[in-house]
Amino acid sequence: MAERTNALTKARDAVWHPTSASLRFLALLGVLGNAGIVATGGAVRVTKSGLGCPEWPKCTGDSLTPTHSPDHGAVNMAIEFGNRMLTFLVLAVGVLVFVAAWRLRPRRRDLVWWAAAQPLSVVAQAVIGGIVVLTKLHPASVSLHFLVSPALLIFCVALWARASEGDDRPRHLVAPYVRNLSRALVAAAAAVLIAGTVVTGTGPHAGDADSRRYGFNIENVARVHSGLAWITVALTVVLLVTLIRTGAPTAARRRAVELVAIELAQGALGYIQYFMGVPAPLVVLHMLGAVLMWIAALRILFALRDRGPVPATEPVPAQKHQAPQPA
């Protein structure tokens, strides 16, 4: 019991009396949660559970939780409801991150703004999820629902990175052309994600057997997606070689190597699922790989500059209680 109480106290203090280390940990939980929800969203699609809960915000009729329905299987309802519940978990982490950033002393204003964006973005994601259900999984709304997650990850990764550095004026560690190359790489990665939603919206995994699909030729959109992916790989290799030849910091080179490894694994997985007829489990892995690629690309940007040491954490001043004065 004492160990459990001690663990709960530490968890409370990580939020209410945060340190830079505890804020970094909470920010990392935000990154992991938003990456995980992409995988569970993929599971919803490939199991045809997108309308397992046919209503929103309630699941069915007047029930917030799944109930018996002759039109929707219990497994499909559980999968969709589970994905909705994970959204609330990610929202809770976002709120805790914001509270910790607000309570951190000295208060670092940009960290508060990065943290505030997380719960607000999750709420927006939930609203878009409702639109997806109400439009009966229209591919455009489903694509938007997916793309909000990479957009939200920008805030999550930025907070994770900023919590690990100081507040000095950014000192660039590489030449301007290298920074521009890294920005081009992030733009290419974003294009791959967008094209990937078109491929998924054209392919067989609609989330429900009766849902609309894009009217494109699947082979054509797959080629466009593949071409953008190879451009991204080429930019990453060029960036890695440039970082090595210019003597860039070890952290920056390590991030580039990590991204190359993820891209090669993701590319191999993409070709395997294409030639195997897009099996459902590989689709989920490919969606998770896309998000990991995006996170790795964003981390390169923060490895190309230095903002000094992390400020020392100060204790949050306790509230002063004045003794009641006699009448």
**Cross-strand bridge partners of residue 63:** 60
Cβ atoms within 10 Å, residue 324:
6
Cβ contact 61:97 at 8 Å: no
Judge whether 100 lies within some domain. Answer: yes
pLDDT of residue 321: 47
Q: Is pLDDT larger for residue 139 or for residue 228?
A: 228
Task: Give the three-state DSSP class for 63.
Answer: strand
Rounded CA-CA distance 245/26 in Å is 36
pLDDT at 327 over 50: no
pLDDT digits (tens, 9 = 90+) for 114-153: 999 989 888 888 888 888 888 888 888 888 888 988 999 9
Cβ contact 87:126 at 8 Å: yes
pLDDT averaged over every residue in the chain: 87
Residue 155: band (very low, low, confident or very high) from pLDDT cuts 50, 70, 90: very high
Q: Domain check: are 123 and 204 in the same one?
A: no
pLDDT at 201 over 80: yes
Q: Domain check: are 56 and 159 in the same one?
A: yes
- Range 265-293 burial, b when 16+ CB lie within 10 A, else e: ebbebbeebbeeebeeebbbbbbbbbbbb
Task: Give the three-state DSSP class for 306.
Answer: strand
Q: Domain check: are 180 and 154 in the same one?
A: no
pLDDT of residue 239: 97
Rounded CA-CA distance 196/175 in Å is 32
> DSSP characters for 84-119?
HHHHHHHHHHHHHHHHHHHH-SS--HHHHHHHHHHH
Domains of the chain: total: 2
The last residue of a domain, from among 164, 193, 215: 164
The owner of tokens 């990590």 is 258
Residue 161: band (very low, low, confident or very high) from pLDDT cuts 50, 70, 90: very high
Q: Domain check: are 87 and 216 in the same one?
A: no
How many percent of the chain have pLDDT more than 70?
A: 92
Judge whether 320 lies within some domain. Answer: no
Domain range for 227 is 168-309
Task: Give the three-state DSSP class for 171.
Answer: strand
15, amino acid identity: V
